[in-house]
Structure 1
Amino acid sequence: MISAAGTMAVLFDLDGTLIDSAPDLGAAADQMRADRGLASLPMERYRPMAGAGARGMLGVAFDITPNAPDFAPLREEFFVNYEARMMRTRVFEGVAELVEALCARGLQWGVVTNKSVRFTAPLTRGMPLFATAGAIVSGDTTPYAKPHPEPLFEAARQLGVAPDRCIYVGDDERDMAAGRAAGMRTVAAAYGYMGADADLTLSKADAAIQSPMQLLQLLEAA
Structure 2
Amino acid sequence: MRFENVTAVLFDLDGTLIDSAPDLGAAADQMRVSRGLPSLPLEAYRHMAGAGARGMLSVAFGLTPKDAEFEALREEFFSNYEACMTQRTYVFEGIADMLDDLRRRGLLWGVVTNKSARFTDPLTRAMPLFATASTVISGDTTPYSKPHPEPLLEAARRLGVIPGRCVYVGDDERDIVAGRAAGMGTVAADYGYLGEKSDTASWGADIRINSPMELLQWLQAA
Shorter-chain TM-score above 0.5: yes
CA distance in 2, matches of 1:183, 1:90: 31
- The equivalent residue for 1:76 is 75
After superposing on structure 2, the runs of 4+ consecutive aligned residues of structure 1 that deviate more than 2 Å are 200-203
- Kindly indicate whether residue 55 of structure 2 is the aligned counterpart of residue 56 of structure 1: yes
Matches within 5 A, 1:63-102: 63-88=62-87, 89-102=89-102
1:163 maps onto 2:163 in alignment: yes
- Among all aligned residue pairs of Structure 1 and Structure 2, give the percentage whose two residues are the same amino acid: 70
Q: Deviations over 1:60-79 (max 9, x none)?
A: 00000011111001000001
Amino acid in structure 1 at the alignment position of 2:197: D
Q: Which runs of 5+ in 1 are unaligned?
A: none
Matches within 5 A, 1:209-220: 209-220=209-220
Q: CA distance change for structure 1 residues 20 and 201 in 2, over 3 Å: closer, same or farther?
A: farther
Who is 1:172 aligned against?
A: 172
Q: How big is each residue's C-alpha offset from its partner over 1:80-111, in whole Å with a ceiling of 9 and x where there is no partner? A: 11111111211101101111110000000000
Q: Distance in 1 between matches of 2:124 and 2:179?
A: 22
Aligned counterparts of 1:172 and 1:221: Cα–Cα separation in 2: 26
| Structure 2 gap segments, 5+ residues each | none
C-alpha separation in 2, matches of 1:195 and 1:146: 14
* 8 A contact 1:172–1:201 mirrored in 2: no
Aligned-partner Cα distance in 1 for 2:27–2:201: 26
Distance in 2 between residues matched to 1:209 and 1:114, nearest whole Å: 21
Match of 1:208, SS? strand
Matched, 1:36 2:27: no
What does the per-residue CA deviation read over 1:3-25, in whole Å, with 9 as the maximum and x for residues that have no partner? 31110000000000000000100
Give, in whole Å, the separation in 2 of the partners of 1:201 and 1:81.
35
Structure with a larger share of its residues in helix: 1
Question: C-alpha deviations, 1:147-205, integer Å up to 9, x for none?
Answer: 00000000001100000100000000110000000000100010000143111565321
Number of residue-to-residue matches in the alignment: 221
Contact 1:58 1:75 in 2 (8 A): yes
TM-score w.r.t. the length of structure 1 is 0.96
Measured against aligned partners, the alpha-carbon deviations of 1:29-62 in whole angstroms (never above 9, x if no partner) come to 0000000000111111100000000000000000
Contact (CA 8 Å) 2:190, 2:209: kept in 1 or not? yes
**Residues 137 and 151 in structure 2, CA contact (< 8 A), matched pair in contact too:** yes
Counterpart-to-counterpart distance in 1, 2:196 and 2:117: 27
Q: Give the alignment of 1:1-222 within 5 angstroms.
A: 1=1, 3-88=2-87, 89-200=89-200, 202-220=202-220
* Contact 1:166–1:184 (8 Å) recurs in 2: yes
Contact 2:107 2:221 in 1 (8 A): no
